[in-house]
Homo-oligomer: A and B are copies of this chain.
Amino acid sequence: MTPANTADDTTVDIAALLERGRTLSTPVLKAAVDRLAPPMDTVAAYHFGWIDAQGRPADGDGGKAVRPALALLSAEAAGAAPEVGVPGAVAVELVHNFSLLHDDLMDGDEQRRHRDTVWKVHGPAQAILVGDALFALANELLLEIGTVEAGRATRRLTTATRKLIDGQAQDISFEHRERVTVEECLEMEGNKTGALLACAVSIGAVLGGADDRTADTLEAYGYHLGLAFQAVDDLLGIWGDPDATGKQTWSDLRQRKKSLPVVAALAAGGPASERLGELLSADAKSNDFASFSEKEFATRAALIEEAGGRDWTAQEARRQHAVAIEALDRVDMPQHVRAQLTALADFVVVRKR
């Protein structure tokens, strides 16, 4: 690593960086949601954790807010004030939450951020409708800026959204297939997670006047950061602490997700890999899957680990992290911004939720 690559992480307060993203973007996000016609405004407020299912004010967990923090740093990377990135931060958050609303419904996920999901509380129609509305709002917020830069930012966001949708389509199709290659899985995760994180890292810079080459290189950092993020998510989806993640134990195994640890274990060969393959093949045809106990999922998780799927995924997270940091090297930016982007990448890889 060159010195420019090495953030002195003790000088970067990650909590403060995430908090700044939240503080600057949340009022704009709330004002955007207030534009929605009833009852969509209420349903969206529930989804964001601002009210509870009975409509009482709540101080819910709005997520880690990595994307808003990145969008503000993105503006600063182009030499603009962090505030220039705010509409971008909010637009990316709106698209992210549009996808959560729709994905939770498609995947049948009943819990997110320690609370019942929107389709569970307000019904499938509201989950579809409010998702659609947040997607439209994202474009509206950017396009009403009215500048050429805003048009370019919207185009990048649209491209990312299309990839996000492609990724969800691939993810769903994988659940019905017996075998998925590691390459297919990485492509899916790049679409589903990498593309929008990439956009978060370029959108502030584009709004701040950065050229396409700079924006593309920032996107390379964001894309690989997204892949590192998703590799960690895949580990947490199997071995995460439910109290920290807000999801069920063995969450991804319950949904038969072909996530990285699973496909890497299946590709590894050897006795544990073969036994895992036999079990998962039988599971796919089983009528009893819905009544599986903790023990049955624990067996599958142990085989994944024994076949090397857990270690491979942890290593993949570090590999993608390194590629992300390398991309940062190719962009001129203020030194403190580089240090913060580096520290955020470090945080993403070590997080527990």
Does A173 sit at the interface, judged by CB under 8 A? yes
Name the CB-closest residue of B to A140: B158
**B133, B151, B170: the one within 8 Å of A143 (CB):** B151
CB of A139 within 8 A of chain B?
A: yes
- Determine the chain B residues whose CB is within 8 A of the CB of A105 once the complex forms: 124, 128
Q: Which of B39, B158, B170 lies in contact with A169, CB distance below 8 A?
A: B39
Say what secondary structure dominates the interface of chain A.
helix
CB distance from A255 to the nearest CB of B (A): 13
Q: Is A168 an interface residue (CB 8 A)?
A: yes
Interface residues of A in 169-217 (CB under 8 A from B): 169-170, 172-173
Residue of B nearest to A107 (CB): B125
A132 at the interface (CB under 8 A from B): yes
Check if A341 is an interface residue, CB within 8 A of chain B: no
User: B132, A106: Cβ atoms under 8 Å?
Assistant: no
| Interface-located stretch among A159-167, A261-269, A288-296, A299-307 | A159-167
Which residue on chain B has the smallest CB distance to residue A125?
A: B106
Interface size on A, residues (CB 8 A): 41
**Assembly CA distance A158 to B135 (angstroms):** 10
Q: Check A102 against B140 for contact (C-beta < 8 Å).
A: no
Q: Does A137 contact B (CB under 8 A)?
A: yes
Cα distance A128–B128 when bound, in Å?
Answer: 7
Q: Contact partner of A162 among B106, B133, B148, B168, CB < 8 A?
A: B133
Alpha-carbon distance A324/B310, docked complex (angstroms): 65
Q: Mark A55-98, 1 if CB is under 8 A from B, else 0.
A: 00000000000000000000000000000000000000000001
Distance in Å: Cβ of A43 to nearest Cβ of chain B:
9
The answer to whether A136 touches B165, judged by C-beta atoms less than 8 angstroms apart, is yes
Shortest CB-to-CB span from A258 to chain B, Å, is: 16
Given A136-B165, A139-B154; 5 other pairs, CB 8 A cutoff: A98-B132, A102-B129, A106-B128, A129-B165, A150-B151
14 A-B contact pairs sorted by A residue (CB < 8 Å): A35-B162, A36-B166, A38-B173, A39-B169, A39-B173, A40-B169, A105-B124, A106-B129, A132-B132, A133-B169, A139-B158, A143-B158, A144-B155, A148-B151
